[in-house]
């Protein structure tokens, strides 16, 4: 009975930390914005082509021509790995988990201003930002110097 | 085994207390000139409608046409987790709890200036601000550099 109780509590505890699962390092998530055909928190993949950037999930996709993009912002959220520290080792409190957010401002086909906030996996941030800057001719606006350092490495 | 179960219970309690307050995906009407909503009313916000910003609450909804919005301000209040620190662990003093406030200034149907202050859950700050900027064409006025960083970094 005690074992069962402990196991149940451990399960409950782990289930309270969805952050344990996290976004894949090569994946992306549409966090939210003004895009009506994409539900918030949709996971998928972000790619950059010759003429446009695309976020694609199983159900829907968002394609933004580079020529329509008028702003790029990058920010991050750093937090302690509380879930892992509880479930695995307190040493995880010493490391930080970062989430990376890219906000794309653009004009839609009716020339109405739109905004899409994407969370990007850590392995695609640098190439995504570099490509977007090169293709759009817009400079990424960084939340602060730390965000710039994390995203660009300098 | 008993101590393990006790520890897990304590950790679960700690976590739930730490998250007490406004749900991270919700919003609350804090106050302002809107007579139809009681101060402290909780609900959800949406920018999906192309014409109106909407605050949904249990007994109805509050809508502001985007083209009537003439001012957007964002500020925050940061405080230590004193209650949790006293009740459970002094470690809680090392983390800060932030409250996020959005003030919307707009002209009502009679052309009179109105203002509504909302507290935003931490998970909707970035998306709400980005969407409002896109929909209204107004730039967010950040209270200070810390607020700007927090608002963009979520």
Q: Which residues of chain B have a CB within 8 Å of the CB of A19?
A: none
A143, A145, A149, A150: best to mutate for the B interface, most B CBs within 10 A: A143
Angle between helices A2-15 and B2-18 (to 10 degrees): 30
Domain assignment of residue A81, yes or no: yes
pLDDT of residue A108: 95
Give the up-direction half-sphere exposure of residue A124: CA atoms within 13 A in the CB hemisphere: 21
Low-confidence ranges of chain A (pLDDT < 70): 1-21, 80-96, 153-154
Indicate the residue of A6, A31, A82 with minimum beta-carbon distance to B8: A6
What strands, in cross-sheet order, belong to the sheet with B113-120?
A: B60-65, B52-57, B41-46, B27-32, B113-120, B96-107, B69-80, B141-142
Q: Which residues of chain B have a CB within 8 Å of the CB of A6?
A: 1, 4-5, 8
CA–CA gap between residue B119 and residue B129 (Å, rounded): 12
Q: Which residues of chain A have a CB within 8 Å of the CB of B15?
A: 13, 16, 82
- What is the extent of the structural domain holding A139? 23-152
Indicate the residue of A13, A34, A101 with minimum beta-carbon distance to B12: A13
* Cβ of residue A1 closer than 8 Å to a chain B Cβ: no
A92, A98, A115: best to mutate for the B interface, most B CBs within 10 A: A115
CB within 8 Å: B126 and A12: no
Domain assignment of residue A10, yes or no: no
Virtual torsion, Cα A110, A111, A117, A123, nearest 10 deg: 100
Q: Which residues of chain B have a CB within 8 Å of the CB of A86?
A: 11
Q: Which residues 22-61 of A have a C-beta within 8 angstroms of B?
A: 31-34, 36, 40
pLDDT of residue A19: 45
Look at strands B141-142 and B69-80 and give their pairing.
parallel
| CATH, domain B2-153, list 2.30.29.30, 3.30.9.10, 3.20.20.70, 2.40.50.180 | 2.30.29.30
Domain assignment of residue A113, yes or no: yes
Domain total for chain A?
1
The reported pTM is 0.77
Query: Each residue of A111-131: pLDDT tens digit?
Result: 999 999 999 999 999 999 999
Provide the CATH number for the domain around residue A122.
2.30.29.30
**b/e code A88-111 from CB counts within 10 Å (16+ = b):** eeeebeeeebebbbbbbbbbeeee
pLDDT of residue A143: 83
CA–CA gap between residue B104 and residue B4 (Å, rounded): 49
Bridge partners (DSSP) of residue B46 are B54
CB within 8 Å: B149 and A2: no
Q: Which of A133, A127, A118, A140 is nearest to A66 (CA)?
A: A133
pLDDT of residue B6: 64
Domain assignment of residue A18, yes or no: no
Domain boundaries, chain B: 2-153
* Cβ of residue A112 closer than 8 Å to a chain B Cβ: yes
Low-confidence ranges of chain B (pLDDT < 50): 16-18, 154
Q: Which residues of chain A have a CB within 8 Å of the CB of B2?
A: 2
Indicate the residue of A9, A76, A117 with minimum beta-carbon distance to B5: A9
pLDDT of residue A74: 94
Domain assignment of residue A74, yes or no: yes
State the DSSP string of A7-25: HHHHHHHHHT-GGGT---T
Domain assignment of residue A12, yes or no: no
Domain assignment of residue A93, yes or no: yes
């Amino acid at each position: 009975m005690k074992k069962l109780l402990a196991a149940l509590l451990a399960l409950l505890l782990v289930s309270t930390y969805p952050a344990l699962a996290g976004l894949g390092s090569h994946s992306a998530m549409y966090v939210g914005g003004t895009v009506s055909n994409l539900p918030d928190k949709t996971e998928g993949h972000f790619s950059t082509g010759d003429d446009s950037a695309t976020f694609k999930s199983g159900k829907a996709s968002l394609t933004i021509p580079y020529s329509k993009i008028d702003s790029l912002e990058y920010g991050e959220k750093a937090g302690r790995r509380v879930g892992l520290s509880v479930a695995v080792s307190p040493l995880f409190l010493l490391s930080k988990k970062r989430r990376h957010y890219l906000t794309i401002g653009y004009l839609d086909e009716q020339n109405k201003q739109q905004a899409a906030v994407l969370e990007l996996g850590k392995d695609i941030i640098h190439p995504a930002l570099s490509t977007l800057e090169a293709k759009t001719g817009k400079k990424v606006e960084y939340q602060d110097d730390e965000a710039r350092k994390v995203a660009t490495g300098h | 085994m008993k101590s393990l179960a006790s520890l897990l219970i304590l950790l679960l309690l700690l976590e739930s207390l730490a998250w007490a307050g406004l749900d991270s995906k919700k919003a609350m009407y804090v106050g302002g000139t809107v007579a139809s909503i009681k101060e402290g009313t909780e609900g959800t916000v949406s920018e999906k409608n192309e014409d109106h910003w909407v605050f949904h609450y249990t007994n109805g909804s509050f809508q502001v046409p985007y083209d009537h919005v003439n001012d957007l301000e964002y500020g925050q209040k940061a405080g230590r987790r004193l209650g949790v620190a006293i009740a459970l662990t002094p470690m809680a003093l090392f983390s800060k709890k932030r409250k996020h406030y959005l003030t919307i200034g707009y002209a009502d149907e009679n052309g009179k200036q109105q203002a509504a202050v909302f507290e935003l859950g931490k998970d909707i700050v970035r998306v709400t601000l980005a969407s409002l900027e896109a929909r209204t064409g107004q730039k967010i006025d950040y209270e200070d550099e810390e607020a700007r960083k927090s608002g963009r970094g979520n």
